[in-house]
Amino acid sequence: MLITPQHLIQWKQQNRAIAVLTAWDYAIASILDRAGIEVILVGDSLSMVALGHETTLPLTLDEVIHHAKAVRRGVKEALLVVDLPFLTYQESWQQAMHSAGRILKETNAGAVKLEGGYPAIAETVARLVQAGIPVMGHVGLTPQSVRQTGFRQQGKSHEAGEKIVAEAIALEQAGAFAVVIEHVPADLAKTITESLTIPTIGIGAGIHCDGQVLVTSDVLGLGTWKPKFAKTYLDLNALITQAVQEFGEEVRAHKFPPET
């Protein structure tokens, strides 16, 4: 079954939780898809995990399209969502239309994701949806605003929390089919989830969201740093290091390849 945005909305109504992970190449995407992950996100986190940057800001539209094409080849059933990189949609809704259109046309993705919920962004979402482009929103900690906010938890004061709730509601009203809620207090995420008819996807936002997303390199233990709210299920860094060290040792000892 090819998963669509409408499936996610139905699953919220059915109280069925949604698992979301990121991918940046064919191999990882194939594994996630075969494992039954419902949504695969080509997130702008690939700027750090695949390209070695310190933040998501340097990522370009051409780069995300390049990686999304590879991911698409590995995805057969999951909903593929692709992030719009920094400054590829903020200037105007026309710029966003061009960027999102390129992503859908060149990668065959199922949807795009963009950050923020203030009025100009909500208008952009509405324009994209009207043009037939499915959009996932993103509120709370928005990594593309790291120069302003840092990586601190958002929405801790009453006023800040109310603003994030209002942004999420505005995104739903604009036609977004889901909203990522990142690094906010769990009670705030619960309020947002209960206020929306579209699903919420939490990351560092507690257990009350309709789904959860993590960066796959954090799950696999591939990164050198991960946020406190992430969970490492496997220390792949250590396993890979051991494997390549053994290979190197065998080569230097003339044990690989074996004699035939």
pLDDT tens digit sequence for 162-199? 999 999 999 999 999 999 999 999 999 999 999 999 99
Model pLDDT, residue 150: 81
5-235 is classed in which CATH architecture? Alpha-Beta Barrel (3.20)
Alpha helices in 108-235 (DSSP H): 119-130, 146-149, 158-174, 186-195, 216-219
Instruction: Determine the pLDDT at residue 146.
Output: 87
Average pLDDT over all residues of the chain: 97
Annotated binding-site residue? 54: no
Angle at 54 between CA 18 and CA 101, to 5 degrees: 55
- Distance CA(112)–CA(132), nearest Å, equals 11
pLDDT band at 49 (very low <50, low <70, confident <90, very high): very high
* Cβ count within 10 A of residue 260: 3
Q: How far apart are CA 42 and CA 69, in angstroms?
A: 10
Q: Please give the average per-residue pLDDT across 50-58, as a whole number.
A: 96
pLDDT band at 223 (very low <50, low <70, confident <90, very high): confident
Percentage, residues of the chain above pLDDT 70:
100
* Angle between helical axes of 26-34 and 61-74 (0-180°, round to 10): 50
- Is 187 within any annotated ligand binding site? no
Residue 247 backbone phi and psi in degrees, to 5: -60, -50
Q: For a pLDDT cut of 90, what percent of the chain falls above it?
A: 94
Which range is least confidently modeled, 6-15, 31-40, 143-152, 209-218? 143-152
Residue 205 has pLDDT above 90, yes or no: yes
| pTM of the predicted structure, to 2 decimals | 0.97
What would the two tokens of residue 15 be?
Answer: 């109280």
Please enumerate, as own/partner, the contacts of 90-97 that have beta carbons within 8 Å and a separation of 24 or more.
90/121, 92/124, 93/123, 93/124, 93/127, 93/128, 96/124, 96/127, 96/128, 97/127, 97/128, 97/131, 97/133
Q: Is 176:76 a contact under the CB 8 Å cutoff?
A: no
Q: How buried is residue 144: exposed, middle or buried, by Cβ count under 10 Å (0-12/13-18/19+)?
A: buried
State how far the Cα of 26 lies from the Cα of 35, in Å rounded to an integer.
14
Would you list the domain boundaries of the chain?
A: 5-235
Q: What is the pLDDT of residues 234-257, one digit of tens each?
A: 999 999 999 999 999 999 999 999
Q: Say if residue 25 carries a ligand binding annotation.
A: no
Closest CA relative to residue 106, chosen from 140, 64, 137: 64
- CA-CA distance, 238 to 38, in Å (whole number)? 28
Is 83 annotated as contributing to ligand binding? yes
DSSP state of 159: H
Residues annotated catalytic, as ranges? 182
Contact 198, 9 (CB under 8 A): yes
